[in-house]
Amino acid sequence: MAHHAHALVGTGAARAPRLGRAVTAAGAASAVGAVVLLLPDGAPESGRRASPLAHAAALPLARRLVRAGRDEGLVAHVVRYRGRGWNGNDAQLATDAAWAASEVVRRYGDVPICLAGHGMGGRAALRAAGHTAVNSVLALAPWLPEHDVAAAPEPVRQLTGRHVLIAHGTNDARTDPELSYRLAERAKKVNRHTCRFEVHSDGHALRQHHEEVQALAADFVLGALLGRPFSRPVADALAAPPPLGLRMPLAGGFGRALRR
Protein backbone atom coordinates (compact mmCIF):
# COMPACT_ATOMS: atom_id res chain seq x y z
CA MET A 1 0.00 0.00 0.00
CA ALA A 2 2.82 2.43 0.86
CA HIS A 3 4.52 1.66 -2.45
CA HIS A 4 1.24 2.27 -4.25
CA ALA A 5 0.77 5.66 -2.53
CA HIS A 6 4.33 6.64 -3.44
CA ALA A 7 3.68 5.71 -7.04
CA LEU A 8 0.52 7.81 -7.08
CA VAL A 9 2.34 10.85 -5.72
CA GLY A 10 5.04 10.45 -8.32
CA THR A 11 2.63 10.46 -11.26
CA GLY A 12 2.40 14.27 -11.13
CA ALA A 13 6.14 14.79 -11.50
CA ALA A 14 6.09 15.06 -15.30
CA ARG A 15 3.27 17.61 -15.34
CA ALA A 16 3.90 21.33 -15.33
CA PRO A 17 1.84 24.04 -13.60
CA ARG A 18 0.04 26.56 -15.78
CA LEU A 19 -1.12 30.09 -15.15
CA GLY A 20 -4.52 29.45 -16.64
CA ARG A 21 -6.47 31.69 -18.98
CA ALA A 22 -6.62 35.35 -17.94
CA VAL A 23 -9.93 36.43 -16.45
CA THR A 24 -10.68 39.99 -17.50
CA ALA A 25 -13.72 42.28 -17.48
CA ALA A 26 -15.39 44.14 -20.31
CA GLY A 27 -14.23 47.74 -20.45
CA ALA A 28 -11.10 47.03 -18.44
CA ALA A 29 -8.09 49.31 -18.66
CA SER A 30 -5.71 48.21 -21.42
CA ALA A 31 -2.66 48.13 -19.14
CA VAL A 32 -2.46 45.47 -16.45
CA GLY A 33 -2.12 47.20 -13.09
CA ALA A 34 -2.31 44.25 -10.70
CA VAL A 35 -2.90 40.50 -10.70
CA VAL A 36 -4.76 38.19 -8.34
CA LEU A 37 -3.86 34.51 -8.49
CA LEU A 38 -6.69 32.21 -7.41
CA LEU A 39 -5.40 29.00 -5.83
CA PRO A 40 -8.02 26.22 -5.77
CA ASP A 41 -8.52 23.65 -3.04
CA GLY A 42 -6.53 20.43 -3.11
CA ALA A 43 -5.75 17.38 -1.01
CA PRO A 44 -3.14 16.57 1.66
CA GLU A 45 -1.79 13.59 -0.30
CA SER A 46 -2.62 12.78 -3.92
CA GLY A 47 -0.98 12.02 -7.24
CA ARG A 48 -4.18 12.71 -9.19
CA ARG A 49 -4.55 15.57 -11.60
CA ALA A 50 -5.80 18.88 -10.25
CA SER A 51 -9.54 18.92 -9.70
CA PRO A 52 -11.58 20.62 -12.44
CA LEU A 53 -14.36 21.15 -9.88
CA ALA A 54 -12.02 23.04 -7.55
CA HIS A 55 -10.85 25.11 -10.52
CA ALA A 56 -14.44 25.95 -11.48
CA ALA A 57 -15.27 26.87 -7.88
CA ALA A 58 -12.59 29.60 -7.96
CA LEU A 59 -13.92 31.30 -11.09
CA PRO A 60 -16.85 33.27 -9.58
CA LEU A 61 -14.55 35.11 -7.18
CA ALA A 62 -12.05 35.74 -9.99
CA ARG A 63 -14.78 37.28 -12.15
CA ARG A 64 -16.12 39.40 -9.30
CA LEU A 65 -12.68 40.77 -8.50
CA VAL A 66 -11.81 41.76 -12.07
CA ARG A 67 -15.19 43.44 -12.56
CA ALA A 68 -14.63 45.49 -9.44
CA GLY A 69 -11.04 46.35 -10.39
CA ARG A 70 -11.38 46.81 -14.15
CA ASP A 71 -10.71 50.57 -14.08
CA GLU A 72 -7.28 49.88 -12.58
CA GLY A 73 -6.50 46.99 -14.94
CA LEU A 74 -6.94 44.13 -12.47
CA VAL A 75 -6.46 40.70 -14.05
CA ALA A 76 -7.05 37.30 -12.45
CA HIS A 77 -5.76 33.82 -13.19
CA VAL A 78 -6.93 30.56 -11.65
CA VAL A 79 -3.70 28.59 -11.29
CA ARG A 80 -3.68 25.07 -12.72
CA TYR A 81 -1.52 22.96 -10.43
CA ARG A 82 0.53 19.96 -11.53
CA GLY A 83 -1.72 17.83 -9.32
CA ARG A 84 -4.09 18.18 -6.41
CA GLY A 85 -1.83 16.96 -3.58
CA TRP A 86 0.27 18.98 -1.12
CA ASN A 87 2.32 15.83 -0.60
CA GLY A 88 4.25 16.44 2.58
CA ASN A 89 7.60 18.16 2.35
CA ASP A 90 7.15 18.58 -1.40
CA ALA A 91 4.59 21.32 -0.64
CA GLN A 92 3.66 20.98 -4.29
CA LEU A 93 0.78 23.46 -4.33
CA ALA A 94 2.90 26.17 -2.69
CA THR A 95 5.70 25.53 -5.18
CA ASP A 96 3.21 25.88 -8.04
CA ALA A 97 1.86 29.10 -6.52
CA ALA A 98 5.35 30.58 -6.33
CA TRP A 99 5.98 29.53 -9.93
CA ALA A 100 2.76 31.26 -10.97
CA ALA A 101 3.84 34.49 -9.27
CA SER A 102 7.12 34.38 -11.20
CA GLU A 103 5.20 33.73 -14.41
CA VAL A 104 3.05 36.80 -13.74
CA VAL A 105 6.19 38.92 -13.44
CA ARG A 106 7.56 37.44 -16.66
CA ARG A 107 4.30 38.09 -18.50
CA TYR A 108 3.16 41.43 -17.06
CA GLY A 109 6.22 43.01 -15.50
CA ASP A 110 6.49 44.60 -12.08
CA VAL A 111 2.87 44.49 -10.90
CA PRO A 112 1.61 43.71 -7.38
CA ILE A 113 0.16 40.23 -6.84
CA CYS A 114 -2.41 38.91 -4.39
CA LEU A 115 -2.46 35.17 -3.70
CA ALA A 116 -6.06 34.14 -2.94
CA GLY A 117 -6.63 30.52 -2.00
CA HIS A 118 -9.33 28.28 -0.59
CA GLY A 119 -8.73 25.23 1.59
CA MET A 120 -5.42 23.68 0.61
CA GLY A 121 -5.04 26.63 -1.77
CA GLY A 122 -5.23 28.89 1.28
CA ARG A 123 -2.26 27.11 2.77
CA ALA A 124 -0.42 27.45 -0.55
CA ALA A 125 -1.16 31.18 -0.61
CA LEU A 126 0.18 31.66 2.91
CA ARG A 127 3.28 29.55 2.27
CA ALA A 128 4.17 31.18 -1.08
CA ALA A 129 3.72 34.75 0.21
CA GLY A 130 7.47 35.28 0.41
CA HIS A 131 7.69 35.81 -3.35
CA THR A 132 8.93 39.36 -3.88
CA ALA A 133 6.03 40.34 -6.15
CA VAL A 134 3.35 39.28 -3.65
CA ASN A 135 1.94 42.12 -1.57
CA SER A 136 -1.13 40.41 -0.09
CA VAL A 137 -2.67 37.07 0.82
CA LEU A 138 -6.32 36.05 1.10
CA ALA A 139 -6.80 32.62 2.72
CA LEU A 140 -10.35 31.27 2.83
CA ALA A 141 -10.93 28.27 5.11
CA PRO A 142 -7.23 27.37 4.87
CA TRP A 143 -6.26 23.75 5.47
CA LEU A 144 -3.51 23.71 8.07
CA PRO A 145 -1.93 20.67 9.71
CA GLU A 146 -2.04 19.92 13.41
CA HIS A 147 1.31 20.97 14.84
CA ASP A 148 3.52 17.99 15.56
CA VAL A 149 6.03 18.78 18.30
CA ALA A 150 8.59 16.77 16.35
CA ALA A 151 8.14 18.94 13.25
CA ALA A 152 8.60 22.63 12.55
CA PRO A 153 5.40 24.69 12.85
CA GLU A 154 3.83 26.20 9.75
CA PRO A 155 6.08 29.17 8.81
CA VAL A 156 4.84 32.76 9.10
CA ARG A 157 7.92 34.94 8.53
CA GLN A 158 7.25 34.99 4.78
CA LEU A 159 4.11 37.02 5.55
CA THR A 160 6.13 39.99 6.85
CA GLY A 161 5.29 43.16 4.92
CA ARG A 162 2.18 41.68 3.28
CA HIS A 163 -1.48 42.40 3.96
CA VAL A 164 -3.04 39.14 5.13
CA LEU A 165 -6.70 38.28 5.61
CA ILE A 166 -7.96 34.87 6.72
CA ALA A 167 -11.66 34.00 6.75
CA HIS A 168 -12.96 30.75 8.23
CA GLY A 169 -16.38 29.26 8.86
CA THR A 170 -16.93 28.35 12.51
CA ASN A 171 -18.69 25.10 11.52
CA ASP A 172 -16.00 23.95 9.09
CA ALA A 173 -15.79 20.18 9.52
CA ARG A 174 -12.95 19.74 7.01
CA THR A 175 -10.40 22.32 8.09
CA ASP A 176 -10.19 23.28 11.76
CA PRO A 177 -10.89 27.02 12.24
CA GLU A 178 -8.96 26.97 15.51
CA LEU A 179 -5.79 26.09 13.59
CA SER A 180 -6.17 29.14 11.33
CA TYR A 181 -6.65 31.26 14.46
CA ARG A 182 -3.42 29.93 15.95
CA LEU A 183 -1.52 30.63 12.73
CA ALA A 184 -3.01 34.15 12.55
CA GLU A 185 -1.95 34.73 16.15
CA ARG A 186 1.64 33.81 15.31
CA ALA A 187 1.54 35.78 12.06
CA LYS A 188 0.31 38.91 13.83
CA LYS A 189 3.51 38.92 15.92
CA VAL A 190 5.70 39.29 12.82
CA ASN A 191 3.25 41.20 10.62
CA ARG A 192 0.80 43.72 12.07
CA HIS A 193 -1.12 43.82 8.76
CA THR A 194 -2.83 40.52 9.58
CA CYS A 195 -6.51 39.97 10.32
CA ARG A 196 -8.94 37.10 10.49
CA PHE A 197 -12.74 36.96 10.13
CA GLU A 198 -15.03 34.29 11.54
CA VAL A 199 -18.04 33.34 9.41
CA HIS A 200 -20.44 32.10 12.04
CA SER A 201 -22.33 28.86 11.36
CA ASP A 202 -20.75 28.44 7.91
CA GLY A 203 -18.92 25.36 6.64
CA HIS A 204 -15.84 24.71 4.53
CA ALA A 205 -17.30 25.91 1.22
CA LEU A 206 -18.56 29.16 2.82
CA ARG A 207 -21.82 28.82 0.89
CA GLN A 208 -24.24 29.97 3.58
CA HIS A 209 -22.74 33.48 3.61
CA HIS A 210 -21.40 33.39 0.08
CA GLU A 211 -22.29 37.00 -0.76
CA GLU A 212 -20.72 38.40 2.40
CA VAL A 213 -17.53 36.35 1.94
CA GLN A 214 -17.14 37.47 -1.67
CA ALA A 215 -17.75 41.10 -0.69
CA LEU A 216 -15.16 40.80 2.08
CA ALA A 217 -12.67 39.27 -0.37
CA ALA A 218 -13.23 42.06 -2.89
CA ASP A 219 -12.91 44.77 -0.23
CA PHE A 220 -9.60 43.33 0.96
CA VAL A 221 -8.08 42.55 -2.44
CA LEU A 222 -8.96 45.92 -3.98
CA GLY A 223 -7.58 47.70 -0.93
CA ALA A 224 -4.37 45.72 -0.74
CA LEU A 225 -3.64 45.58 -4.48
CA LEU A 226 -5.07 48.85 -5.76
CA GLY A 227 -4.84 51.13 -2.74
CA ARG A 228 -8.57 51.64 -2.31
CA PRO A 229 -9.72 52.44 1.23
CA PHE A 230 -10.56 49.36 3.25
CA SER A 231 -14.09 49.20 4.64
CA ARG A 232 -14.40 50.04 8.33
CA PRO A 233 -14.64 46.37 9.45
CA VAL A 234 -11.47 45.39 7.55
CA ALA A 235 -9.57 48.47 8.69
CA ASP A 236 -10.64 47.82 12.28
CA ALA A 237 -9.64 44.16 12.09
CA LEU A 238 -6.21 45.02 10.72
CA ALA A 239 -5.66 47.61 13.43
CA ALA A 240 -7.03 45.66 16.40
CA PRO A 241 -4.70 43.65 18.64
CA PRO A 242 -5.28 39.93 19.22
CA PRO A 243 -7.66 38.39 19.81
CA LEU A 244 -10.12 41.05 18.59
CA GLY A 245 -8.66 41.49 15.11
CA LEU A 246 -8.31 37.75 14.67
CA ARG A 247 -11.84 36.76 15.72
CA MET A 248 -13.71 39.50 13.89
CA PRO A 249 -17.26 38.34 13.08
CA LEU A 250 -18.31 38.77 9.45
CA ALA A 251 -21.56 40.68 9.74
CA GLY A 252 -24.62 39.60 7.81
CA GLY A 253 -25.27 41.90 4.88
CA PHE A 254 -21.61 42.98 4.66
CA GLY A 255 -21.73 43.40 0.88
CA ARG A 256 -25.12 45.16 0.86
CA ALA A 257 -23.96 47.61 3.51
CA LEU A 258 -20.97 48.62 1.40
CA ARG A 259 -23.16 49.31 -1.65
CA ARG A 260 -25.35 51.82 0.21
pLDDT in tens, 82-119: 999 999 999 999 999 999 999 999 999 999 999 999 99
Mean pLDDT of the chain: 92
Q: What is the pLDDT of residue 12?
A: 47
Rounded Cα distance between 194 and 160, Å, is: 9
Spatial CB neighbours of 173, under 8 Å, sequence gap ≥ 6:
203, 204
Per DSSP bridges, beta strands 134-140 and 74-78 are: unpaired
Flag whether 193 is in a domain. Answer: yes
Average pLDDT over residues 131-144: 98
Q: What is the pLDDT of residue 10?
A: 46
* Residue pair 179/143 in contact by the 8 Å Cβ criterion: no
**Alpha carbon distances (Å) from 125 to 1, 38, 97, 99:** 31, 9, 7, 12
Flag whether 35 is in a domain. Answer: yes
Rounded Cα distance between 179 and 167, Å, is: 12
Flag whether 260 is in a domain. Answer: no
Rounded Cα distance between 80 and 3, Å, is: 27
Average pLDDT over residues 140-147: 91
Flag whether 39 is in a domain. Answer: yes
Flag whether 172 is in a domain. Answer: yes
Q: Residue 27: pLDDT above 60? A: yes
Segments forming the whole domain that contains residue 98: 2-254
Read off the CATH number of the domain in which 138 is found: 3.40.50.1820
Percentage of the chain with pLDDT > 70? 91
Average pLDDT over residues 4-29: 73
Q: What is the pLDDT of residue 14?
A: 65
Confidence of residue 8 (pLDDT cuts 50, 70, 90): very low
pTM for the whole thing?
0.93
Indicate the Cα dihedral angle 256, 53, 10, 141, nearest 10°. Answer: 20
Average pLDDT over residues 151-158: 90
Q: What is the pLDDT of residue 146?
A: 83
Flag whether 259 is in a domain. Answer: no
Rounded Cα distance between 93 and 44, Å, is: 10
Of residues 247 and 253, the one with the higher pLDDT is 247
Flag whether 37 is in a domain. Answer: yes
Q: What is the pLDDT of residue 85?
A: 96
Q: Residue 203: pLDDT above 60? A: yes
**43-47, 140-144, 146-150, 185-189: lowest mean pLDDT where?**
146-150
**32-41, 145-154, 157-166: lowest mean pLDDT where?**
145-154
Confidence of residue 152 (pLDDT cuts 50, 70, 90): confident
Total number of domains in the chain: 1
**What value, to the nearest 5°, has the Cα angle with vertex 188 and ends 110 and 214?**
65
Average pLDDT over residues 151-180: 95
